[in-house]
Amino acid sequence: MRRARLAVPAAVAALTAALGAVPAHAQQEAGPVPGADHCTATACHFDVPLGTYDVRVLLGGADASSTSVTGETRRALLPETAVAAGERVARHFTVDVRTPEGEPTGADGTPGLDLVLGGAAPALADIAVTPARHARQLLLVGDSTVCDQPGDPYYGWGQQLPQYLRKGLSVANHADSGESTVSYLADPRLWATVQPRIHPGDLVLIQLAHNDKTTDGPTYRANLEALVAGVREQGGEPVLVTPIVRRWFNSDGTLDNGTALLVNGLGVDHPAVVRSVAADLDVPLIDLTARTKDVVESLGVEGSKSLYLSNEKRDNTHTSRHGATVYASIVRDELLALGLVPPGLVRLG
């Protein structure tokens, strides 16, 4: 596929003819681009087939600007970036284009690549989309606390993770709401679909526990072991992730040892089992339970409400945009600390 590039409105007709694409050129001071039927000042659409794509955006305009980029099902692809008046700043990222666009059991979504410009004062001077030829995948297997949530105010940490990664590393988020280790392995839209998409060298992060409320200990362990083995069969590198905590406090300001720390009604301590499997099978471990526990307890009963949907939905399991972003940054930090991704492919800001 040829390079899809948009620099000035006059290029739109030629680009569309060459690629069959409908790119959009959005600037702070401009409305819809003349000649592009599907363009707005704050959105871009590329009629590309399924695959992985590198995106280069040139941000800035005549006035001071501040631009973020999301894509597909509300994935955060680029954090808000400020640019001084009259200046231009280039940023790059890699994006996964697939169907279904978000959750594997959800709606197909719109064909092609959709990008949305946000921020306090968005300004896009130029954009280029090319097939990614050397990208490494970071695949996510998980539940509703990880997935690409389709609507406000819900966000999964996997939905916010891409903004912390640079060109060359794409996030393929195959987490799905309501899934346990049992259902994820059983549903053909989930593990049977994900496993063949794993390429040698890909990372596969596995966080399943929240919905294993009736899964006994031996079954839970066996399911984790099956997922690890399946990743390795494809030449991928499994990474086990303990579940984020639920915001459920004791009277002394600490988190409850059962509900909050993911011990189910059968007495199965999910994080402990994950840690044990990681140690026994020599699998890298991101102890997100321990890390999120520290964050929630340090903020306290009131301060931690902003991480979850406590006020909006009386929901102390699912995260707000802020909470998902904080937790995604923890995952980024752990990937770096474990040496699983090189520093050059990570955004720290």
Neighbours of 214 (CB within 10 A): 12
* Phi, psi values for residue 62, rounded to 5°: -65, -35
Burial class (CB in 10 A: 0-12, 13-18, 19+), 302: exposed
In tens, the pLDDT along 221-272 reads: 999 999 999 999 999 999 999 999 999 999 999 999 999 999 999 999 999 9
pLDDT > 60? residue 175: yes
Q: Which residues pair with 16 in a beta bridge?
A: none
| H or E segment and range at residue 246 | none
β-pair partners for 4: 129
pLDDT digits (tens, 9 = 90+) for 125-159: 889 899 999 899 999 999 999 999 999 999 999 99
Q: Which two tokens stand for residue 141?
A: 């297997």
What are the two backbone dihedrals, phi and then psi, of residue 343, each rounded to the nearest 5 degrees?
-55, -30
pLDDT at 29: 35
Which of these CATH numbers, 3.20.20.450, 3.40.50.1110, 3.30.1330.10, 3.10.20.30, describes 136-345?
3.40.50.1110
Whole-number pLDDT of residue 162: 98
| Strands, E assignment, 147-279 | 169-173, 203-207, 237-241
Domain boundaries, the chain: 15-131, 136-345
Assign domain 15-131 to a CATH class. Answer: mainly beta
Task: Quote the CA–CA distance of 334 and 287 in Å, as a whole number.
Answer: 9
For residue 155, what are the β-bridge partners?
319
What confidence tens digit (pLDDT) does each residue in 39-52 have?
A: 377 899 999 999 99
What pLDDT shows up at residue 41? 78
